[in-house]
Chains A and B, each alone.
Chain A
């Protein structure tokens, strides 16, 4: 997250303040192909929006302990591709986050949803807390880790869920 602070985004060569922020990370080869494909689609259809989602007017709290700052966030192909003030661009979906905190999804370092997720794959108990990543399967796992399927396999999971 550090490379996306406004100071760095603003200091990025070739970007004037208020333009789209610095690219967050160098795209991998696969990603580059996707971008190329995206560019072709854009060339064919002028209406193709620049972002899938644009979060406007939010208070960004980046999780480093720094105070919040006002900025927009542009999301495309699953990634944060721009952070900056008053990002100029079109988006499929725009979220007005005025007065709201915009934070990284929370990480549950030991959540133990490994059985729950079989019953409720959307895991509402976690996402409604803002948890987007969970370390799970510690101690007990539904994966067949051992030789005894009654303990470690699906039968073990079914037993525990009874």
Chain B
């Protein structure tokens, strides 16, 4: 199983965006792992890019519709 894992305290999860200032990130995630690599560590972005494209049947002209 690929290791996509969130580590957080549910009491700390908060949405900081407002109508006046919509481009605000949510807070509260301590760690977020994508494919085993932290993209958030100790609450901060690591700038790692471990993600992968997961293609569905629509990506193949032979199998899409």
Task: Give A contacts to B, CB under 8 Å.
Answer: 1, 4, 24-25, 52-53, 55, 58, 73, 75-80, 93, 95, 97, 99-106, 121-122, 124-125, 127-130, 132-133
Contact = CB atoms under 8 A, between A and B. Distances in A.
A105 B7 contact: no
A55 B8 CA distance: 12
Given A78-B2, A97-B30, A132-B39, 9 more contacts: A4-B1, A55-B31, A58-B7, A75-B3, A76-B36, A103-B6, A122-B45, A124-B45, A128-B32
Contacts of B51: 132
Nearest to B6: A130
B11 to A, nearest CB: 10
B40 to A, nearest CB: 6
Contacts of B8: 100-101, 103, 130
Nearest to B9: A100
A127 B39 contact: yes
A130 B32 contact: yes
Interface residues of B, number: 31
Nearest to B23: A125
A79 B5 CA distance: 10
A77 B33 CA distance: 12
A107 to B, nearest CB: 9
Question: Could you say which of A99, A100, A106 has the most chain B C-beta atoms within 10 Å of its C-beta?
Answer: A100
A106 B4 CA distance: 8
Nearest to A97: B7
Given A75-B36, A128-B25, A128-B27, A104 B47 contact: no
A100 B30 contact: yes
B10 interface: yes
Contacts of B3: 53, 73, 75, 78-80
27 contacts: A53-B33, A55-B31, A75-B36, A78-B36, A79-B36, A80-B3, A93-B38, A95-B31, A97-B30, A97-B31, A99-B9, A100-B8, A100-B30, A103-B5, A104-B4, A105-B6, A105-B32, A105-B34, A122-B49, A127-B45, A128-B40, A128-B45, A130-B29, A132-B4, A132-B32, A132-B34, A132-B39
